[in-house]
Amino acid sequence: MRILLVEDDLQLAAQVGDALEEAGHVVEKADNGQDALYLGTEETFEAVVLDLGLPVLDGLTVLNQWRAAGRDMPVLILTARDNWHEKVAGIDAGADDYLTKPFHMEELLARLRALIRRAHGHASAEIRCGPLVLDTRARRISLEGRSLSLTSHEYRLLAYLMHHPDEVLSRQELTEHLYAQDFERDSNTIEVFVARLRKKLPADMIETVRGLGYCLRSPGAAAP
């Protein structure tokens, strides 16, 4: 999943960023409100971790402008322990959850998993698509009860497809959720990973939609 991390404390940003990447996410960072506003408005993210005490533009202003622009990605705000009024203002502005500093990294990761699941209509930590089951806590995908052997990039790609079943996803969107912006990307990368996944999945489960991209087809779903 592609996460936007907005935090001006560079040490904390590095720690959170490392934890998110270790959990399999692609992380884009901003250390001020102006850059955060631009990225969250122009780019697509599965979730945002947003500190409210930011330079240039404060986090609450950024969040208000995102919501006013129709940006509906889940937002987890970070607040100082004693600033209860920030929590209330953040929730009223459209935040989906909050976490007070200092916090345990595992709690942040768990809250993000829950936000992303709920955004896609999943209440359980397990996401199912036909014979496939994604365990978001263990970062494991099984097929008919047997764990699939996947590389980290294969897992990221298949997990993203499973969060968006029966949706046609462009190569550009899939690439953005596989690699950070500063990573040198090969135009054939997605085709290579899709080909690898098809060898491990039931026939025709990943459909190529000519000129548009790929779709993970759930059993019984009609073609778009």
Can you give the residue ranges of every domain in the chain?
2-119, 126-216
Q: What is the predicted pLDDT for the residue at 181?
A: 64
Q: Tell me the two tokens of residue 157.
A: 């790609």
CA distance 44 to 47: 9
What fold is seen in the domain 126-216?
Arc Repressor Mutant, subunit A (1.10.10)
Q: What is the predicted pLDDT for the residue at 149?
A: 95
CB within 8 Å of 146: residues ≥ 6 apart: none
Average pLDDT, the chain: 90
108 and 78 Cβ atoms separated by less than 8 Å: no
Terminal C-alpha separation, the chain: 24
Instruction: Kindly report, residue by residue over 8-36, the tens digit of the pLDDT.
Output: 999 999 999 999 999 989 999 999 999 99
| φ, ψ dihedrals at 221, nearest 5° | -75, 140
Instruction: Kindly report, residue by residue over 51-93, the tens digit of the pLDDT.
Output: 999 999 999 999 999 999 999 999 999 988 677 788 888 899 9
Instruction: For residue 216, give the amino acid letter.
Output: L
Q: What is the predicted pLDDT for the residue at 221?
A: 53
Q: What is the predicted pLDDT for the residue at 24?
A: 87
Q: What is the predicted pLDDT for the residue at 223?
A: 52
Instruction: Kindly report, residue by residue over 99-128, the tens digit of the pLDDT.
Output: 999 999 999 999 999 999 899 888 788 999
Is residue 222 pLDDT above 60, yes or no?
Answer: no
How many CA atoms lie less than 13 Å away from 91 in the CB half-sphere?
7
Region 122-147: what's the mean pLDDT? Answer: 91
Q: What is the predicted pLDDT for the residue at 121?
A: 84
C-beta atoms surrounding 216 within 10 Å = 25
Q: What is the predicted pLDDT for the residue at 141?
A: 96
Q: Please determine, looking at this structure, whether the domain spanning 2-119 carries the CATH number 3.40.50.2300.
A: yes
Instruction: Kindly report, residue by residue over 150-206, the tens digit of the pLDDT.
Output: 998 899 999 999 999 999 999 988 988 887 665 555 657 889 999 999 999 988 899
Q: What is the predicted pLDDT for the residue at 125?
A: 86
Residue listed under structure tokens 């949706």: 167
Query: pTM of the prediction?
Result: 0.81
